[in-house]
């Protein structure tokens, strides 16, 4: 199986100050995402969840760090709900089922490092 070609770093953001909150906008009834770094070693993706939107339960082969940048959401890890709010972080462990639910408009950054 061929390895996915990585996009690298968003050239519009290199060597320029930015705010995560400004990189994605809410869209009614949707989840909007923008990957700002996509390398073999890992990814950084910013998400904006409209109220009521969710990422269904899934797992990933690597740990992932979530940083909440606006609003409040629910991160469910192995069936346990964790309410997270602006300025908080949570680590979703590798190979453990997890999901995300927006109880209100909610923005987060997902950092995944692909390392054993």
Q: What tokens appear for 40 in the block?
A: 């073999």
Predicted TM-score of the model (pTM): 0.89
Closest-CA residue to 89 (of 20, 22, 35, 26):
20
pLDDT confidence of 11, banded at 50, 70, 90? confident
Does residue 54 surpass a pLDDT of 50?
yes
Quick: pLDDT tens for 94-113: 999 999 999 999 999 999 98
Mean pLDDT across the chain: 92
Considering Cα of 60, then 19, then 106, then 49, what sign does the dihedral take? negative
Quick: pLDDT tens for 55-77: 999 999 999 999 999 999 999 99
Q: Can you give the pLDDT at residue 4?
A: 53
Does residue 90 surpass a pLDDT of 90?
yes
What's the topology of domain 44-116? Jelly Rolls (2.60.120)
């Amino acid at each position: 199986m061929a390895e996915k070609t990585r996009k690298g770093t968003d050239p519009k953001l290199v060597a320029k100050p930015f705010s995560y909150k400004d990189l994605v906008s809410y869209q009614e009834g949707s989840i909007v995402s923008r990957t700002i770094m996509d390398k073999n070693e890992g990814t950084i993706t910013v998400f904006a969840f409209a109220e009521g939107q969710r990422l269904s339960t899934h797992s990933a082969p690597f740990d992932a760090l979530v940083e909440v940048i606006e609003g409040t959401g629910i991160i469910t890890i192995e069936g346990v709900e964790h309410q997270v709010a602006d300025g908080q972080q949570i680590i979703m462990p590798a190979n453990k089922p997890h999901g995300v639910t927006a109880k209100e408009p909610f923005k987060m950054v997902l950092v995944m490092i692909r390392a054993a």
